[in-house]
Structure 1
């Protein structure tokens, strides 16, 4: 019969398995240390610039519009309904040109009532003046009578004293004559005081009535102006820029109805990013591109505050504007801040403010990869920035927004 053979064990097998396990572990450890593969980017989609040394002109750029230096907003002096619109945007006007006709019966009634009250006050002033003049004449007559009585009393005393000296009159008659003289003097003094008081009272009442008349006259004048203001006039020569009312529309007192501007003198109003506006000062030279030509000017005003991240600045233009320039036309302006000689600079990166430290990707010598380096930025223009450290002339760097690759220090380029 056949006897089965026992298989012999290979003594090398445990060592082989151990070697395989160790190899797998080493491979896994190596892969874990390699980290993620460097991302590959299309070089054609990136903005790349070369670091250079030389002159850098610091400029600030801003978009804006042409605005008239002289313009007038026309507002409603009184509420009313629009009856006619006699001008439209673009219409040339003079100061006396009627733009809109309004109507408001209440305003006309108030004007008529003010005129009526003024007439009544003027009639009352005339009546009071007549009455007081009559009273004044009566008082002056009383004063004249007292003066005559005083003189007669003085003469009577003189006669009585003379007769008494001649023995033709008694002492009692002399005393009686003297008493009448004293009475006449007191009456005359009283009439004088009464005349002065009456005169002052007369003037006070007249002034009071005059003040009332002047008050009502001012009210009537104001009401007449309200009625006249319902024929809304331009108030200045120029061109109508805004007017969007229609007949039948109701407007409120103080509501802005139109804007009239002169096209003879225009200025540029630019919006500058607030972080770039900190170095602006009045008088800086500025160029303004109207797309039909470039004109020069000077910075004439800087808004004290920022709005929505921008600062508004005014540019007074020294050159004549091209034909076709008109208010509200879009323009681009560039303000020259200063010239820096012999500085290292590069195009302004998408991320990174002036006077800060940022990280940028610098291209390798063959241009097939880029590594992240730390760069200290200095003063900046709207399209370039000074390099204080981290880069040297001849280096090529990526200016595009690389924030999505902030977790890697190297990228491949193709």
Structure 2
């Protein structure tokens, strides 16, 4: 059998065919690779029931801030002692109703009792010395008054005698020398009378100044005695105001010093709420703003009464006065929630407050597209309230967004919601 040689053109055609097939296969592989690379990664799935979805709305919004605190009395009185003593009896315990004169506890102080006796005797001694000095000055005054009366009588008699002698001298019945002697005696008595009158007036006017030291001594001793008596009476500790006894921080047998707090009395009918609000939310709070206080048994209307000037532990204290009647069970130290109305915005785009997002900030939220998926969008937030926040850009009324914490999906721009 004889081999027939193939033409060279046939081999060349086969090579071309194989090259074309290889090129086509390479092109197909490249196209598939490009197509696959352009496919979006599969969106991670999230159970819809596990996230909080809210709808963007348009309308009015109340700007509110909220804080927790307690009810405290507006009228509180701490009762302390002005002297040292020992607690002998505690007559009342916290919770008792008291009046201003109700005795809460009794103290004892033997040294104070002795000082009262000493003060009484000292006062009596000073008073006796005053009365004795006063009697001496009055006797002196009476003696001078008697001398003045005697000299005045002598002067009057001498003046009458002089007048008679001068008449007799005119008739030549007495000598001129005799008249001159009587006239000299009368002038001397007149001078003595004038001096005696001045002495009497000086003595009379000087009695008050001479009794001044004794009067001051009596007043000083009386004040000391009354102070001791008052301190002794204060050993019976009284409430000082009507209300309810809330604390008695001492025990029988305890020795206490001056200024020690013995009891606290409060008026339970006049309460206010002291709440703590995050310092980042207090910049718009003003005195007089409307507020509500929730006591768990009812809501009381009120107004902002006072704002602490300094922050403590990241919060600011705010006092709220209570305008309405107190609900049943309202009492001092009761835990309450206070809500303050900052302002009313008449027409804004709003949504529920997201897990992360502060006032006047920009955040990324997942917006639902209606096809079971949610895409991440940038949203600019405005003013905040307790449960709502203003939308400035990025969302429109009717949009639905996820407000839950989605930090676990930060690597994805879209997610799939599983029903």
TM-score bracket relative to the smaller structure: 0.7 to 0.9
My pick for the range that moved more, 162-171 or 241-250, is 162-171
- Alignment gaps of 5+ in structure 2: 1-42
1:299 aligns with 2:303: yes
Say whether residues 1:388 and 2:388 are aligned partners: no
Of stretches 107-116 and 185-194 in structure 1, the one that deviates more from structure 2 is 107-116
Of 102-111 and 197-206, deviating more is 102-111
In structure 2, what is the Cα distance between the partners aligned to 1:353 and 1:81? 58
1:139-288 paired onto structure 2 within 5 Å: 139-288=144-293
Supply the distance in 1 between the matched residues of 2:351 and 2:387 (Cα, whole angstroms).
9
Mean CA deviation greater in 77-86 or 358-367: 358-367
**TM-score computed with the length of structure 2 as normaliser:** 0.79
1:151 CA drift (Å) = 0.9
Query: Per-residue CA shift, 1:32-68, capped at 9, x if unaligned?
Result: xxxxxx9998877765544321221222212122223
Greater alpha carbon shift after TM alignment, 327-336 vs 381-390: 381-390
Alignment of 1:85-100 (within 5 A): 85-100=90-105
Tell whether the 8 Å contact from 1:153 to 1:181 is kept in structure 2 after alignment.
yes
Find the structure with the greater CA-based Rg: 2
Conserved? CA contact 1:40–1:411, under 8 Å: no
Alignment of 1:58-137 (within 5 A): 58-137=63-142
> How big is the shift at 1:291?
1.5
How far residue 210 of structure 1 moved from its aligned partner, in angstroms, is 2.6
Find the partner of 1:361 among 343, 365, 368: 365
Q: Decide whether aligned partners of structure 1 residues 40 and 251 sit closer, same or farther in structure 2, where only a CA change above 3 A counts.
A: farther
Q: How many pairs were matched up?
A: 374
* Distance of 1:234 and 1:168 partners within structure 2: 97
Q: 1:313 maps to which residue?
A: 319
Q: Given the superposition, is the C-alpha separation of residues 146 and 40 from structure 1 closer, same or farther in structure 2, using an over 3 Å criterion?
A: farther
State the Cα RMSD in Å.
Answer: 3.1
The 8 Å contact of residues 271 and 321 in structure 2, kept in 1 or not, is answered as no
Shift of 1:409: 8.6
Where does structure 1 lack aligned partners over 5 or more consecutive residues? 1-37
| Secondary structure, aligned partner of 2:92 | coil
Distance 2:152 2:172 in 1: 30
Pairwise CA distance, 1:262: 2.9
Question: For the residues of structure 2 that align with 1:413 and 1:251, how far apart are their CA atoms?
Answer: 73
Structure 1 CA distance, aligned partners of 2:408 and 2:252?
A: 58
**In structure 2, C-alpha distance between the alignment counterparts of 1:338 and 1:206, rounded to whole Å:** 73
SS at match of 1:279: coil
Q: In structure 2, do the counterparts of structure 1 residues 360 and 146 end up closer, same or farther at CA, with 3 Å as the change threshold?
A: farther
- Give the Cα–Cα distance (whole angstroms) in 2 for the partners of residues 250 and 411 of structure 1: 74
Q: Which whole-Å deviations, capped at 9, do the CAs of 1:136-195 have from their partners, x for residues lacking one?
A: 101111111121121122123213322321223232222222221221111111111111
Q: Secondary structure at the match of 2:101?
A: coil
Alignment partner of 1:220: what SS? helix
Deviations 1:204-254 (A, max 9, x none): 233443333223222211111111111111222332111121112222212
Instruction: From the superposition, tell whether residues 368 and 300 of structure 1 become closer, same or farther in structure 2 (CA, over 3 Å).
Output: closer
